Amino acid sequence: MSSRRAFLQKMAASALVVPAVSMMKAAAYPQAVNSVYDGPMLRVAIMGLGSYGSRVAEALLSCRAAKLVGVISGTPSKVKEWQAKYNIPEKNCYNYENFDRIKDNQDIDAVYVITPNALHKDQSIRVAKAGKHVICEKPMAVNAVEAQQMVDACKKANVKLLIGYRMHFEPKTLEIVRMRNAGDFGKILFFQGLSGFKIGDPGEWRLNKQLAGGGAMMDIGIYSINGARYMVGEDPVWVTAQEVKTDPIKFKEGVDETITFQLGFANGALASCLSTYAMNNLDRFFLNGEKGFAELLPATGYGPIKGHTHLGELTQPHVTHQTLQMDEMSAIILKGKKPLVPVDGEEGVKDMKIVDAIFEAVKTGKKVDLKL
């Protein structure tokens, strides 16, 4: 396993040695994957060994400053499979009943919670009480009240809580943020976020309100909510929203199919966004200012992200998002690094407050004021 890891690290490093790297602004681009690293290593256990957990595990093989050392799952067969695949010792394997025992395991620094949304709060709080740092996949909870409880529990336990906002480390995204901060777009006027795909299996947990907390908004719509905030560079102060449901059998009560929503910002900027489980080919961000614009298409997929601004094409190289994310989160947890775009629990609470307000606006048909 160590030889495979070394090979992957060398390949990742060589792939990044291209002219485009030297042209990028250092402040906007996380440190590239490098074959030489002698700093601290974040030792991570993954909770939830589904498809996304597998994606994170594979990405960790290429990380410089983070590695997979443990698993938590309710499926014994998956635990055995991961043990063999990733060389995980038996003492670092847990199930959902006994994972509180990680408190006594000095080989695990953090747990990445990648389970259905409704389980995040309780599982994250248990991890925090066990004295381990928490990385929780988004959305961090099913509402803002639960999200704040997670933040409070982690503060009480003196551990960090980070949310799996992988796009906050994506190079093209960060270049747009850097350009906005530098004033290249002038006053920001408008943002559009389109987030959606046509969901298949009607029996999957994402269409179960008890597990997901909703429908498309809790899965894909969160990208446009969060994207509006980091692209505009402010938090919204009001929201309006409208829901359309064409298939009430697949999308039962409390499970949204399609929601359009609008956000207003204190500086006068507006955002118009779409969240849907009923349409494909929707993954676009567009930012417009008085002096220029930026577009990402695709904007949030696993990559490569593509984009351009009024100054030309964005050429930052693609690196696996989860690899960048985990290396940067290692630096945040172990070195106290401050990311250009926050990924802490407070950031996640803000998104959940907006989600709550969107659902309220759909229900009431009224504009809902936001206090983030």
Q: Which of 166, 197, 217 is the last residue of a domain?
A: 166
- CATH number for position 117: 3.40.50.720
H or E element that contains 120: helix 120-129
Mean of pLDDT values over 209-213: 97
Q: What is the dihedral of CA 52, 56, 57, 62, to 10 degrees?
A: 150
Mean pLDDT of 254-272: 98
Percentage with pLDDT > 70 across the chain: 91
Could you tell me if 90 and 215 lie in one domain? no
In a domain, 175, yes or no: no
Do residues 32 and 128 both lie within one domain?
A: yes
Q: What is the CATH number of the domain that holds 223?
A: 3.30.360.10
Instruction: State the catalytic residue, choosing from 94, 121, 132, 138.
Output: 138
- Quote the percentage of the chain above a pLDDT of 90: 88
Number of domains in the chain: 2
CB-based contacts of 356, cutoff 8 Å, min separation 6: 143, 144
Whether residue 69 is contained in a domain is answered as: yes
Q: Is residue 364, in this structure, part of any structural domain at all?
A: yes
- Burial code (b: 16+ CB inside 10 Å, e: under 16) for 21-40 equals eeebeeebbbebbeeeeeee
Is 42 a residue whose pLDDT tops 60?
yes
CA dihedral over 62, 68, 69, 73, signed as positive or negative:
negative
pLDDT at 24: 40
Assess whether pLDDT exceeds 50 at residue 78: yes
What is the residue-averaged pLDDT of the chain? 92
The CA-atom distances, in angstroms, between 84 and each of 45, 88, 111, 200, 343 are 15, 7, 20, 31, 32
For residue 95, give its domain range.
2-166
Pick the catalytic residue: 29, 94, 223, 277?
223
Give the torsion sign (CA, 72, 73, 74, 78).
negative
Q: Do 14 and 124 have their domain in common?
A: yes
- Please tell me the pTM assigned to this model: 0.90
pLDDT of residue 303: 87
Active site residue 112: no
Does 101 map to a domain? yes
Q: Is residue 173 part of a domain?
A: no
pLDDT at position 315 is: 98
Q: Is residue 111 part of a domain?
A: yes
Question: For the chain, how many residues are written?
Answer: 372
Contact 68, 44 (CB under 8 A): yes
* pLDDT higher than 60, residue 10: no
Which of the residue ranges 9-23, 120-134, 214-228 would you say has the lowest mean pLDDT? 9-23
Q: Which helix (H) or strand (E) holds 350?
A: helix 345-364
Residues 202, 137 within the same domain:
no
Instruction: Please say if the pLDDT value at position 4 is more than 90.
Output: no
Higher-confidence residue: 10 or 351? 351
Q: Span 206-215, mean pLDDT?
A: 97
* pLDDT tops 50 at residue 233: yes
Residue 21 pLDDT > 60: no
Residue 230 a catalytic site member: no
